[in-house]
Amino acid sequence: MSTKLFVGNLSYSVTENELQDLFAQHGPVADVNLMLDKFTGRPRGFAFVTMATEEGATAAIQALNGKEFGGRSLTVNEARPREERPPRGDRFGGGGGGGGQGRGDGGGRRQRRY
What is the C-alpha separation between 113 and 103, in angstroms, rounded? Answer: 20
- pLDDT computed for residue 82 by the predictor: 80
Closest CA to 22 of 62, 69, 55: 69
Q: Is residue 48 part of a domain?
A: yes
Q: Is residue 73 part of a domain?
A: yes
Closest CA to 64 of 81, 47, 80: 47
Q: Is residue 19 part of a domain?
A: yes
* Mean of pLDDT values over 101-114: 62
Measured between its terminal Cα atoms, the distance across the chain in Å is 78
- pLDDT computed for residue 97 by the predictor: 55
- As for how many domains the chain has, the answer is 1
Confidence of residue 84 (pLDDT cuts 50, 70, 90): confident
Q: Is residue 114 part of a domain?
A: no
CATH number at residue 14: 3.30.70.330
The answer to whether residue 105 scores a pLDDT higher than 80 is no
The answer to whether residue 101 scores a pLDDT higher than 70 is no
Range of the domain at 52: 3-77
- pLDDT computed for residue 85 by the predictor: 79
Q: Is residue 31 part of a domain?
A: yes
What is the C-alpha separation between 70 and 61, in angstroms, rounded? Answer: 17
Q: Is residue 101 part of a domain?
A: no
CB-CB contact of 43 with 35 (8 Å):
yes
Share of the chain above pLDDT 90, in %: 67
CB-CB contact of 60 with 54 (8 Å):
no
The answer to whether residue 62 scores a pLDDT higher than 90 is yes
Q: Is residue 72 part of a domain?
A: yes
pTM of this structure: 0.72
pLDDT averaged over every residue in the chain: 86
Q: Is residue 43 part of a domain?
A: yes
